[in-house]
Structure 1
Amino acid sequence: MKNQTQKGDAVTVVAPAGGMVSGNGYLFGSMFGIAAETVAAGVSTTLWLVGCYTLPKNSAEAWTFGALIYWDPVTNGGQCTITPGTLKKIGVATAAASNPSPTGNVRLNGVFTS
């Protein structure tokens, strides 16, 4: 197909101030993804929009399989939560996570609906 510019499961972004760290989550407007590599600010890199990842979470929450997951870019430098508020929905939990626990497993939805 001659009009496809990228496959779409990942996109190229320019790292923001402070750069990006491989495996960390980043929000670009309404687009959330996981950094493919560690780069300095201003460097083009890959942002994965779909897939399953272990991410930092609100340790005081207990997650159930399939729970909607939201990204809080402010708390602890960025973490996942099940409390929506005004946060962006990023995916669903792919495993239960206990309270307390520092991480949870998330499948990114690749769709930016909120």
Structure 2
Amino acid sequence: MKNFIQTGAMITMPAPTGGIASGQGMIVGGLFGIAATTAPEGSNVEIATTGVYDLPKAPATVFALGDRVAWDDAVKVIAPPATGLYPVGVAITAAGNGAIAVRVRLDGVATEAA
């Protein structure tokens, strides 16, 4: 196809206010992704929009295998879906009380705060 650009698994976006560290999640409009590199505020950074990642969560938050997960952009962690949070994928492992990360498969679709 002569109008094909790319698969969309990696997208170039401007780094958010304060910059971003490699492996950190970010929201740009309706797009969620994981930064491939560390980048200062406003500079271009490649973000992965699909795939499986270990992402931070609050230690007291508990996820079961298959739970839907959301991104809390205020504190930059994965949380259970709730008002004001961005649905981004599914937990592919359980993560209990005390764990600081959960393994997530990103949906790779547009999102908006619930």
What is aligned with 2:28?
A: 28
**Overall identity of the aligned pairs, in %:** 38
Q: How does 1:57-96 map to 2 (within 5 A)?
A: 57-75=57-75, 78-96=76-94
What is aligned with 1:42?
A: 42
Counterpart contact for 1:89–1:112, Cα < 8 Å = no
Q: What is the CA distance between 1:95 and its match in structure 2?
A: 0.1
TM-score relative to the length of structure 2: 0.91
Looking at structure 2, the residues matched to 26 and 99 of structure 1 have their Cα atoms a distance apart, in angstroms, of 24
CA RMSD for the aligned pairs? 1.2
Equivalent residue in structure 2 for 1:101, among 99, 105, 111: 99
TM-score relative to the length of structure 1: 0.91
Unaligned 5+ segments in structure 2 are none
What do the CA deviations read for 1:18-63 (whole angstroms, capped 9, x no partner)? 1221000001111110000011122212110000000001221211
Q: What is the CA distance between 1:100 and its match in structure 2?
A: 2.0
Which runs of structure 1 show a deviation greater than 3 angstroms over 4 or more consecutive aligned residues? none
Q: How does 1:5-20 map to 2 (within 5 A)?
A: 5-20=5-20
Looking at structure 2, the residues matched to 56 and 109 of structure 1 have their Cα atoms a distance apart, in angstroms, of 17
Unaligned 5+ segments in structure 1 are none
Looking at structure 1, the residues matched to 42 and 84 of structure 2 have their Cα atoms a distance apart, in angstroms, of 28
Q: How many residues align?
A: 112
- Aligned to 2:26, what secondary structure does the other structure show? strand
